[in-house]
Amino acid sequence: MKKITLLFLLSFVSFSPIFGQAIFDSSIHTATNFGSVNSPGAEGVQNVIDQNSSTKFLDFNAFDGIGFEVDLLGVSHTAIAMEIVTANDAPERDPTSYEVFGSNDGMTYTSITTGSIPCISTRFFSRTFSFLNTNTYTYYRLNFTGTCGASSINQIADVQLYSAIGDIPTITCPSDIMINNSTGLCTGNATYNVTANDTEDGTLTATLVTGLASGSDFPIGTTSVSYTVTDSDNNTVSCSFNVMVTDSENPTVNCPSNMVVDTNPGESTVMVNYTISSSDNCSTINPLTGFTPLGTIADKAYYISNASFTPVDAYTDAMSQGGFVGTIRNATDGTYLLNAINMLGSAGDILIGYDDVTTEGSFVWNSGDTSTYTNWNAGEPNNAGNEDYTVMQSSGGWNDVVGTSGNYRYLLEVDYTPLQTAGLSSGSDFPIGTTTNTFVVTDVAGNSVTCSFDITVNEVLSVNSFNLETGVLILPNPADKILTIKNDSDIILDKAIIYDINGRTVNTIHFNSILENKTLNISTLTSGLYLIEIKGINGNITVKKFIKK
């Protein structure tokens, strides 16, 4: 008998009986469309019960869902579980809810159960949902509605109903686990316990189906973990829970110390260079309106657009953001970005910056990067309908698409530098005075730290002013009868004016030579503090103080 898997994306300890006897058999049963169905010839309704995940049932008319009916040819079954397998194509085409009906005449149907289907990016993924039902039916109808993204198409690879064989095992999973990251790591370590028992078989060992084992380092974000156990009658029971790891660690930033610099003589600004460096246990990246951050690789920040664009419009929008539609330079970068995108849920096909618009068949990167790395799906690029642009699918494989039709979220790549919120950038001309420079460093999880420092610029007077200030001396000081103005500068002095403490002019002296030392008779001045303003012929001025005894 076929073994099957149940995945509940809910926050509770799940006990879910899933049974070993499949009801649909495509070798004898025929599936027929229910509702408004528009399927391509190779993707018709019979594929949904053939238990072959490489085929699928597709409906272009997603407005009323994707439905089908099966006549069990007079054989009654009590269905108490449903398995659904995701199809190969874009995750946004996956349905989001289901309803199961039963009938014994093929005309009057009774609703048995309804439920929601969490959106996931994993393809060919089997999930089983159990429900209560004690009635037997010879016809079953299933209808799936909603889409996981902005799509007018529904798709399903396989659907199967199950009934019980004898007693069933029990399995117990923990509730959702919420932990913080381990210090310095972009992961968190989670331990848990899953138990399973059966009436006939006793204690059973559960098998990990998805996620990571207890004691593993789980990535930041939500990881769905599911276990299954099968008894000797081939009854299978599954349970699931989430491990949610929160990045609670702030980035670190090396903030410069306050700086004091001088201008060149006679200048009003000075160029100042400084360095800001930052790091994080995961990745630093600036918040950007309209985009979800993915991470930073080699000083290139990557985002995924929240809105969808045609490829042509995406290229234009990326330029308006100061960047490019993103480059994937190697397999490691591709895996990193794909994992970050898939952690967001059903992102679907993501436009990347690889195109052959200029020369058919010669693909180049929008950023101008010379990387030759590619990850085309088998048979791609095939240029069907003049496909000049490239999308990365949820599997990581690439496919070429038409530039003016189809809407996609796109990978944005911009240069990363810490976000400056005040001051001037390194290498700028800083004015005289104090400029406060502030930077905010944010990581992918939204944790942020602030760095602030001051750059103070002191004015240095011109060379001539400097010489006048230091090259002219007043001797002696204090003075009684004779005051000498001694000129050791290389500036020709014009005149000197003596002021009393109240600012009144007391005397004016004129000079004749650069080398002249002027002797003044101050015997008639009253005792006290005086100012003497000395002017050069080039307009420079210095003011000295002296005391008359």
Nearest CA among 28, 24, 60, 23 for reference residue 44: 60
Q: 340 and 267, same structural domain? A: no
Which of 246, 273, 307 terminates a domain? The answer is 246
This prediction has a pTM of: 0.66
Q: 330 and 264, same structural domain? A: no
Is 4 among the domain residues? no
Residue 7 has pLDDT above 50, yes or no: no
Query: Measured between alpha carbons, how far is 199 from 237 in angstroms, rounded to an integer?
Result: 13
Is 8 among the domain residues? no
Range of lowest pLDDT (71-80, 112-121, 413-422, 466-475): 466-475
Predicted local confidence at residue 346, as pLDDT: 59
**Top-ranked range on mean pLDDT: pick from 13-17, 423-427, 485-489:** 423-427
Q: 183 and 131, same structural domain? A: no
Taking residues 212-229, what's their average pLDDT? 92
Predicted local confidence at residue 6, as pLDDT: 33
Is 6 among the domain residues? no
Amino acid at 145: T
Position with higher pLDDT, 395 vs 530: 530
Predicted local confidence at residue 486, as pLDDT: 87
Position with higher pLDDT, 177 vs 495: 177
Q: Is the dihedral of CA 40, 381, 389, 395 positive or negative?
A: positive
Q: 356 and 379, same structural domain? A: yes
Is 405 among the domain residues? yes
Predicted local confidence at residue 32, as pLDDT: 97
- C-alpha distances out from residue 56 to 24, 42, 50, 156, Å: 16, 8, 9, 6
Residue 315 has pLDDT above 90, yes or no: yes
Q: 531 and 446, same structural domain? A: no
Predicted local confidence at residue 9, as pLDDT: 33
Taking residues 503-512, what's their average pLDDT? 87
Range of lowest pLDDT (80-89, 226-235, 243-252): 226-235
**Total domains present in the chain:** 5
Q: 322 and 363, same structural domain? A: yes
Give Cβ neighbours of residue 186 (< 8 Å, ≥ 6 apart): 219, 220, 247, 281, 282, 283
Provide the pLDDT confidence category of residue 100 given band limits of 50, 70 and 90.
Answer: very high
Predicted local confidence at residue 1, as pLDDT: 28
Residue 24 has pLDDT above 70, yes or no: yes
Is 41 among the domain residues? yes
Is 286 among the domain residues? no
Cβ-contact 201, 233 below 8 angstroms = no
- C-alpha distances out from residue 203 to 167, 227, 376, Å: 14, 15, 47
Q: 452 and 474, same structural domain? A: no
Asked if the bond preceding 311 is cis, omega within 30° of 0, the reply is: no
Query: Measured between alpha carbons, how far is 108 from 385 in angstroms, rounded to an integer?
Result: 46
Provide the pLDDT confidence category of residue 235 given band limits of 50, 70 and 90.
Answer: confident
Cβ-contact 142, 98 below 8 angstroms = yes
Query: Measured between alpha carbons, how far is 482 from 522 in angstroms, rounded to an integer?
Result: 6
Taking residues 57-79, what's their average pLDDT? 95
Cβ-contact 192, 242 below 8 angstroms = no
Query: Measured between alpha carbons, how far is 341 from 513 in angstroms, rounded to an integer?
Result: 81
The CATH number of the domain where 439 resides is what?
Answer: 2.60.40.10
Q: Domain residues for 178?
A: 173-246
CA 109 to chain centre: 47
Is 55 among the domain residues? yes
- List the structure tokens of 418: 């810490």
Q: 52 and 152, same structural domain? A: yes
Residue 299 has pLDDT above 80, yes or no: yes
**519 — phi, psi (to 5°)?**
-105, 130
Predicted local confidence at residue 20, as pLDDT: 59
370: three-class secondary structure by DSSP? coil
Residue 12 has pLDDT above 50, yes or no: no
Which of 105, 140, 163 terminates a domain? The answer is 163
Inter-residue long-range contacts of 284-290, CB under 8 Å, 24+ positions, other chains counted: 284/251, 284/416, 284/418, 284/441, 284/442, 284/443, 284/444, 285/416, 285/442, 285/443, 285/444, 286/416, 286/418, 286/419, 286/442, 287/419, 287/442, 287/446, 288/321, 288/412, 288/414
**46 — phi, psi (to 5°)?**
-60, -25
Mean pLDDT, the chain, whole residue set: 89
Predicted local confidence at residue 316, as pLDDT: 97
Provide the pLDDT confidence category of residue 233 given band limits of 50, 70 and 90.
Answer: confident
